[in-house]
């Protein structure tokens, strides 16, 4: 199998949660490989700064301010992309949130935000990307950045509904694959499930207690760039090859 991203050069990719961590690493990897990237984020100023850093690279990054919990923001983003950059060929649903509290006494607003970002925002962005791909006969690729906890409930108190939201991503990936198969679509779907990764959702999370961060720091951990390279691997497969699920963990992980 020859791995190459050549067929995506000059095509448009949408990356949600593009301002930091895994999203920022994915954006940089795609631009390095000649892809036009629309980076969606609430903190679009960070994406704009990244775009300046990546000027002169084979691809190009465009910053789009969007709150993934707001459907109108997502719809407006895809409209702008279609009108200004071209048809979407790749969607990487990376935006995610994890709030530290418990099911027994947690805040409803935190639970709702987790599902709005990790599930509903993902579904809306996926729908809009597939509309564009289908209308323009594009054999595109939808990639969900999932988690190992989307496949196994781990004994790690305090992450409340986060695990449930990632189980939903696992189910949604397979449901979408079956839907697309039923209509003979060649659009690919992939779930990438990392273990612990250095990001603002883990050891850099300013809302986590110091005790929780210290526990996380004591564990084997991946770099955001490791996940970006996994995205590249998935995208580089031949058109007749689909990776349904890719699980990535640091050596020695015990989750």
Please tell me whether residue 101 adopts helix, strand or coil conformation.
Answer: strand
Q: Are 88 and 133 in contact (CB under 8 A)?
A: yes
Mean pLDDT of the chain: 93
Contact 13, 235 (CB under 8 A): no
- Give the model's confidence band at 198: pLDDT under 50 very low, under 70 low, under 90 confident, else very high: confident
Q: Give the residue, 61 or 155, on which the prediction is more confident.
A: 61
- For 1-9, what is the mean pLDDT? 84
pTM above 0.85? yes
Residue 1 has pLDDT above 60, yes or no: no
Catalytic residues, by residue number, are: 162
Contact 149, 202 (CB under 8 A): no
The helix/strand/coil state of 88 is: strand
| pLDDT tens digits, one per residue of 204-248 | 666 767 777 777 777 788 999 999 999 999 999 999 999 999 999
């Amino acid at each position: 199998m020859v791995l190459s991203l050549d067929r995506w050069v000059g095509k448009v990719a949408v990356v949600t949660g593009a301002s930091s961590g895994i999203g920022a690493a994915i954006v940089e990897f795609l631009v390095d490989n000649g892809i036009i990237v629309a980076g969606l984020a609430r903190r679009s100023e960070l994406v704009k700064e990244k775009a300046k850093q990546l000027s002169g690279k084979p691809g190009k990054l465009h910053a789009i301010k969007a709150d993934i919990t707001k459907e109108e923001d997502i719809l407006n983003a895809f409209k702008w992309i279609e009108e200004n950059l071209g048809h979407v060929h790749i969607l990487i649903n990376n935006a995610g949130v994890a709030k530290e509290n418990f099911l027994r006494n947690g805040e409803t607003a935190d639970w709702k935000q987790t599902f709005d970002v990790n599930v509903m925002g993902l579904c809306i962005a996926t729908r809009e990307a597939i509309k564009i791909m289908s209308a323009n006969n594009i054999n595109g690729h939808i990639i969900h950045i999932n988690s190992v906890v989307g496949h196994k409930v781990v004994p790690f108190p305090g992450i409340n509904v986060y695990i449930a939201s990632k189980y939903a991503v696992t189910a949604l990936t397979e449901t979408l694959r079956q839907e697309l198969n039923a209509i003979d679509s060649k659009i690919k779907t992939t779930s990438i499930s990392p273990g612990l990764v250095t990001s603002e959702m883990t050891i850099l999370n300013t809302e986590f207690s110091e005790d929780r961060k210290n526990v996380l720091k004591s564990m084997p951990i991946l770099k955001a760039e490791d996940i970006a390279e996994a995205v590249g691997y998935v995208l580089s497969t031949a058109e007749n090859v689909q990776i349904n699920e890719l699980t990535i963990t640091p050596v020695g992980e015990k989750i």
